[in-house]
Structure 1
Amino acid sequence: MSLGSSLLTGCSSGKKHITILHTNDVHSHLDPFPEDHAAFPDMGGIARRATLISGIREENPHTLLFDAGDIFQGTPYFNFYGGELEFKLMSMLKYDAATLGNHDFDNGIDGLLAQLPYAKFEFLCANYDFSNTVMDGMTTPYKVFEVDGLKVGVFGLGIDLDGLVTKKLYKETRYLDPVEITQDIVRELKEEKGCDLIVCLSHLGYEYRNPQTDSDVLLASRTQEIDLIIGGHTHTFLEKPVVHRNQIDKPVLINQVGCYGINMGRIDFYFEQGELVGGEGITISV
């Protein structure tokens, strides 16, 4: 993929066109904010998001929908129903996959497991080792989606729960180094699975003051073959995807759309003869 700085310019004549929609850190905000809300007046709401998604899918049937974690915690819906409504509604919107955020453990690992039957989509978590917990086998590191004859490899990464979540809530869940895990997974997705596009659903956070802290920016710079990192955790509001350079100086898109479901990300990728030739992205207000 030799797109250089032109990655965001797009290529409207591309023979194949894949649209990726995404959310992050919705935090159980199912209703719009009130009209008199100081920061987000009359913004958000899952019904409005559903309408937007439906319209985009009509425009381009080759559309995937993802979430980058922290689905839970933030309104009484979670307090009363423990995540059931969030998962049911996301399933109705036909989310294709999500990763887990730290707040998705707020009712404990048993509470998370109890809600999984309501989620009709995959949870992708490559760097959480659940082998000594009740979540063993309930997530998968990655999934390959076939879209219009192209293979889209998607994997998930979670943040280090130590210090963010009480140990009794995540129990024996082990955090694995995201850079090492990513290097193994992208090699498998590219070389063994033959993926044309590789997407990371990340709840690591966009960037930190300490540049050595695991983050989306660090991940992009220390790995190869990722085309898009869909981020979460830091509630970073980006107007459009940011281009970073990977380990071999090729472009990686990173996007994150704030929080509470008031925005949705849209990224369009264009292919010619199976080769990725362009991409462009915007943030859509809900």
Structure 2
Amino acid sequence: MERRLFLKNILSVSGVVALGQWPFETWAETAASTIKITILHTNDQHSRLEPFPKTDRLAGRGGVVNRARLLSKIRSEEANVLLFDAGDIFQGTPYFNFYKGRPEIELMSQMGYDAVTMGNHDFDGGLDLYVKQIKEYATFPVLVANYDFSGTVMQGLAQPYKIFTVKGVKIGVFGLGINPDGLIPEKLFGGTKYLDPIKTANETAAFLKNEKKCSLVVCLSHLGYKMSGGEVSDLVMAPQTKNIDLIIGGHTHTFLNEPTSLTNLAGKPVLVNQAGWGGASLGRLDFTFDRVSKQVFYSSQAISVQ
């Protein structure tokens, strides 16, 4: 009965789709013909450390204990796993009101997150609080390329990008934050300068793909899957880029059963994925790098956490 429940709560994309040819210059560390890398992701956790209550439509789903158990299982089955979050870690339950973000960051560190980006609610306690919790309890970097933190307490703490090398394959990851106007009070944004996300994305992705020879470029975005009023969203940005392969999104709490595939300016696919909110789902994409065909293939799952 438990096995049937587990299988029911995994939504998989059938078949395998080729993403196209990418740089393979970094494969010197291995002679393997193929390398599989699993990317897991969450977004908009909103301080929800326990499962959703019985009165909620997501009743029983989520909770850091359930997520940690699931992560442990996947890591026992897969050799190469990366775990990311697309922002809004803070705000939403009394845990944040009382403990100001410490348990959220500590538990994410214990779960082995590799990188996160910032959401608008991560500013809710002000930059000083965010810096304190990250410096004291985070074992992962904060990646934001389109916020200029010069002259603020965040200067030197946030990075625009990070490159993860897995069995010789370079995975370039960078972050994008949402426009703060109307979302983040000026006093909490703390003198941070907001930079155009599409321009920044193209510049950063080109650097990672062309100069750093990354075989896969991933954007951790808190722009939202689809926005109204002309705001830049993941669906708006993706077709205006050239070198991004995967956008892991947040902000709009969008549950996707499979990634949305869009075509970029170079005629290549860009995958856009998002895993709902509150830790109720875990996004999973398995990328297989094939040395012979020099192509990257993927499959995906949307996994209910419970």
TM-score, structure 2 normalization: 0.87
Distance 2:260 2:47 in 1: 27
SS in 1 for 2:106: helix
Show the counterpart of 2:270. Answer: 252
Q: Is 1:196 equivalent to 2:215 in the alignment? A: yes
Q: Secondary structure at the match of 1:209?
A: coil
Percent identity of equivalent pairs: 53
Aligned to 2:16: 9
Alignment of 1:90 onto 2:97 = no
Q: Write the deviation string for residues 131-157 of structure 1: whole angstroms up to 9, x where unpaired.
A: 021111111000000012100000000
The AA in structure 2 aligned to 1:171 is: G
Q: Distance in 2 between matches of 1:56 and 1:228?
A: 21
Q: Residues 28 and 276 (structure 1 numbering): CA distance in 2 closer, same or farther, change over 3 Å? A: farther
Q: Deviations over 1:248-276 (max 9, x none)?
A: 22111100011000001000111111833
Q: CA deviation at 1:10?
A: 4.8
Question: Which of 42, 65, 80 is residue 47 of structure 1 equivalent to?
Answer: 65
CA offset digits 1:45-70 (Å, max 9, x no partner): 01111111111111112010000000
Query: How many residues are aligned here?
Result: 278
Question: Paired residue for 1:122?
Answer: 141
Aligned match for 1:239, one of 242, 248, 257: 257
In structure 1, list runs of 5 or more residues that go unmatched. Answer: 1-5
Measure the CA separation in 1 of the matches of 2:279 and 2:113.
14
Residue 159 of structure 2 is matched in structure 1 by: 140
Paired with 1:168 and 1:277, the residues of 2 have a C-alpha distance of 44
Residue pair 1:124, 1:139 contacting (<8 A) in 2 also? yes
| Mapped partners of 1:113, 1:209: distance in 2 | 31
CA displacement 1:5-64 (0-9 Å, x = unmatched): x996258xx711110000000000011122x22311111101111111111111112010
Map of 1:273-284 to 2, 5 A cutoff? Answer: 273=291, 275-284=294-303
Report if aligned partners of 1:21, 1:265 keep a CA contact under 8 Å in 2: yes
Distance 1:181 1:197 in 2: 17
Q: Is the 8 A contact 1:128 1:176 kept in 2?
A: yes
Instruction: Tell me which residue corresponds to 2:244.
Output: 226
Q: Is the 8 A contact 1:232 1:256 kept in 2?
A: yes
Aligned mate of 2:197, from 178, 195, 201:
178
1:147 & 1:7 partners in 2: Cα distance?
26
Q: Which residue of 2 aligns with 1:3?
A: none
Q: How does 1:63-102 map to 2 (within 5 A)?
A: 63-102=81-120
Corresponding residue number in structure 2 for 1:266: 284
Whole-angstrom CA distance in 2 between matches of 1:267 and 1:37:
31
For residues 249 and 8 of structure 1, the distance between their equivalents in structure 2, rounded to whole angstroms, comes to: 22
SS in 1 for 2:90: coil
TM-score normalized by structure 1?
A: 0.93
Deviation >4 Å, runs of 4+: none
Letter paired with 1:9: V
TM-superposition CA deviations, 1:50-105 (whole Å, max 9, x none):
11111111111201000000000011111111111000000000100000000000
- Structure 2 letter corresponding to 1:109: L
Q: CA RMSD in A?
A: 1.8
**Alignment-mate amino acid for residue 71 of structure 2:** I
Looking at structure 1, the residues matched to 277 and 109 of structure 2 have their Cα atoms a distance apart, in angstroms, of 20
The code of the aligned residue for 2:101 comes to: G
CA distance in 1, matches of 2:196, 2:245: 20
Would the aligned equivalents of 1:10 and 1:270 in 2 still touch at CA under 8 Å?
no
Amino acid corresponding to residue 165 of structure 1 in structure 2: I
1:59 to 73, 77, 90: 77
Distance 1:214 1:123 in 2: 22
